[in-house]
Structure 1
Amino acid sequence: MLTIDTAQRRIRLQRRHGLVPGHPATVAEAAAAIVVVHATDPATVYLSLLARCPGAKLGDISAALYDDRSLVKLIGMRRTMFVVPTDFAPVVHSAAGRAIAQRLRKQLLQHLGTHRTEPPVGADLEAWLTDVEAGTERAVDARGEALASQLSQDEPRLRTTLIPNGDKAYDVPMKLTSRVLTLMGADGRVVRGRPAGTWLSRQHRWASVRSLWPDGMPELPEASAQEELVRRWLGAFGPATVADLKWWTGWTLGTTRKLLARLDVTEVGLEGETQPGVVLSHDLEPEPAAPPTAALLPALDATPMGWQRREWFLGPHQPALFDRNGNIGPTVWWDGRIVGGWAIREGEIVWRLLEDIGAEGEVAVAEVAGLLQGRLDGATVIPSFRTPLERELVEGGS
């Protein structure tokens, strides 16, 4: 069995994830290079794409998301929010989004059936929900783009309130507005639009899906969409273990293995791993060595979040760089591996190396930090999930 060593995996990571000079050229190409961009934290989208496109500015990313619409935000694998190239969105939607929408719909109908509502919704819950979705979709189409509060004015049933059955502190009445819109987004009936505030804002407008696809979100057969998703992931993240793919997609082990069996893949050994890896059969030739490069990747960046087993690029640094729930914070990279962490303190990028990378590496990190600093317009970014080193740096630790 062919064995692919750690050095080659790091070379592939740098080259294929846009961490070497000269590629990618546009923010849409940068997103495609890592298949999807994590978007749970709005700042991650911008910082991930800036890291891979040295010539891009914040406005270029906003334009790709909201003007030329070459990128779109949607729910995908593991019910996570992602930004994806618009032409790839139907694949993600059909491979993962529709199944998530089915679960969200089932949960909402169950809650409607077991909770009192104000006003009452009637006996035929499915018909009621279907009619509310249709009314909401008409309102979005008419406005083109609107805040949830505006849509609930046009479709008052969005303000229907679920009355809790219990008496716990967290049992509070909740309007259905957010749940219905999230369901419709997962179902491909509406998409997330411009933020209500700056690029760091968590509140966003909802936009008509017909601004991207006049006939609605294209739907593909689930199996073929899943195969294409696996193919894209292996092209960017392979070689990797079956466990890596299972974790990234959120599928069962059986589904993951069934999909791999339908693709032309080859099993390979991985240096330092007890389990074999898989790689696309046409992708066995080694990549030429890449020049050592530095990068500052944000919290939840798609590269370090792309594998379940990360020792080959993370080393011993997990305690400092991850929170208790397994979310990675901002990381400093050199030559295809994580070597430190960074943060923004009062508008200034600060970092700490966790290992010796030599004078060349230190100079490269400083240069990358300086370039990024100049493109943030003085913003201070605090990740949603705080990690030990990021907190230390913000609080003034050296």
Structure 2
Amino acid sequence: MTLPAAVERAAIANRHGWGPQPGPAGLAALATAQAGLHAARLLTPYVTAHTRLPEFRADDLRHALSPHGMLVKVRCVRRTLHLWPHEHAADAHTATLRLRLGATLATARRHGLNRNDLDTTGDQCQEALAGGPLAYRDLQDRMLKAPSLPAVAAVRLGIKWAWESGRTTCRNTSPSLHREQREFAPIEHAHPATRLTHPDVTAATTRLIRHYLHAYAPASTADLLWWTGLSQAEITPALARLRPAITPVRVDPDHLELAHVIDHRAPGEDPRFGVFYRAHSWEGEPYNAEPDKCGGISWFPINDPPDHTVPYHAAALRHICTGRFSSKYGW
């Protein structure tokens, strides 16, 4: 099935709080609706929240990221920073952990360090934070006092390793929206109920993909590969787990008949082809899997579709009824 680009954009805008319908009720709901608030730049999550939450204030986000707040900052998809509600952060962290640890290990090797060195310095980072949160420079200075860590590069990589591993958390304590003051703390101190690493990577990847589809579907496998940064081999098992939920109806290609091709053009959009098939048999039964987003699903006579059917879909159905194989619409 094809959807006009305007219809796709409108559906996503509604989910993200830009449509006429009521949007997310708060920061946690907004972060869930967007599959994580993008935070690669300091201002980005503030701008996102400001444009979608009418009552938003900058202090709301600072409070949400504070110890015991509702959001946690993790580096996840495509190794970029996102803000996630606690209940979803572990999925984003676990599914993409291999990418981040691999990149950190590659940097360490260029400095003559190996995985054991990173584990050791990561442990020492944890020990340095045992007394409470520390600013980045203070944490670095405390770790440099250890006689076994003379190199600044090893200390910095140890701090990064502990954070990327999900053992520590980092937040910006600067009162300015244009300046960063990083403060680190053990994850169990900052967010006692949160554990970022999940033992089942495929299950975490499956849930992460579900978050993406809820936020941005319709989407292709290529979209998922780009957004997550994961490989086809990592995506495929997760999609296999999701398939029963997202494709309740299965059609054997041998039981499909090409019924109509329509060359259509909507105002302000590029031309496109709509291709319609007639299924002679299928397994399963269509149902409304997302009642919060879809008003309903029903069967209609092919020669009497609802009045609000997408215009070029209705035109194609009329032509199918008359036996016409191809047509144009909107030219």
**TM-score if structure 1 supplies the norm length?**
0.58
**Which residue of structure 1 aligns with residue 137 of structure 2?**
149
Equivalent residue number for residue 228 of structure 1:
207
- Look up the equivalent residue of 1:219 and give its one-letter code: H
Of the structure 1 ranges 193-202 and 236-245, higher mean CA displacement relative to structure 2 is found in: 193-202
| Aligned twin of 1:75 | 75
What CA distance in whole angstroms lies between the structure 1 residues aligned with 2:67 and 2:274? 45
- The count of residues paired between Structure 1 and Structure 2 equals 258
Give me the whole-angstrom Cα distance separating, in 1, the residues matched to 2:56 and 2:194.
Answer: 32
Gap change, CA 1:197 and 1:204, over 3 Å in 2: farther
- Partner Cα distance (1:275, 1:92) in 2: 36
Which protein has greater RCO, CA pairs closer than 8 Å, 6+ apart?
Answer: 1
For residue 63 of structure 1, report the CA deviation from its aligned partner: 0.7
Counterpart of 2:240 in structure 1: which amino acid? A
Query: 1:238: Cα distance to partner?
Result: 0.5
Q: Which amino acid aligns with 2:71?
A: L
Give the counterpart letter for 2:101 in structure 1. Q
CA distance in 2, matches of 1:215, 1:60: 20
Q: Is the 8 A contact 2:105 2:115 kept in 1?
A: no
Q: Which runs of 5+ in 1 are unaligned?
A: 115-124, 162-173, 289-398
> For residues 35 and 46 of structure 1, what CA distance do their matches in structure 2 show?
16
Question: Which one-letter code corresponds to 2:11 in the other structure?
Answer: R
State the Cα distance separating 1:284 from its structure 2 match: 9.7
Residues 84 and 108 (structure 1), Cα distance of their counterparts in 2 relative to 1, 3 Å cut: same
1:194 paired residue among 172, 189, 193: 172
Cα deviation for residue 217 of structure 1 reads: 3.3
Of 185, 188, 193, the match for 1:207: 185
Indicate the RMSD between aligned Cα atoms, in angstroms. Answer: 3.2
Secondary structure of the residue that 1:282 maps to in structure 2? coil
- Equivalence for 1:308: none
Structure-2 separation of matches of 1:101 and 1:31: 22
Equivalent residue number for residue 222 of structure 2: 243
Matched residues in 1 for 2:76 and 2:273: separation?
30
CA distance in structure 1 between the aligned counterparts of 2:232 and 2:61, rounded to whole angstroms:
36
Match status 1:3 vs 2:10: no
Q: What are the superposed Cα offsets for residues 306-349 of structure 1, whole Å, 9 maximum, x if unpaired?
A: xxxxxxxxxxxxxxxxxxxxxxxxxxxxxxxxxxxxxxxxxxxx
Rg (Cα) greater in structure? 2
2:122 corresponding residue in structure 1: 133
* Contact map agreement 1:34 1:236 (CA 8 A) in 2: yes
Structure 2: runs of 5 or more not aligned: 251-269, 276-286, 296-331
Identity %: 22
TM-score (norm 2): 0.68
Which amino acid in the other structure matches residue 94 of structure 2? S
**Code of the aligned partner of 2:29:** E
- Deviation of 1:78 after TM superposition, in Å, equals 1.0
CA shift, 1:212, in A, is 0.8
Matches of 2:89 and 2:40, distance apart in 1:
17
Alignment map for 1:1-398 (pairs within 5 Å): 2-20=1-19, 22-96=22-96, 98-113=97-112, 125-143=114-132, 145-156=133-144, 160-161=150-151, 175-210=153-188, 211-213=190-192, 216-264=195-243, 265-266=246-247, 282-283=289-290, 287=294
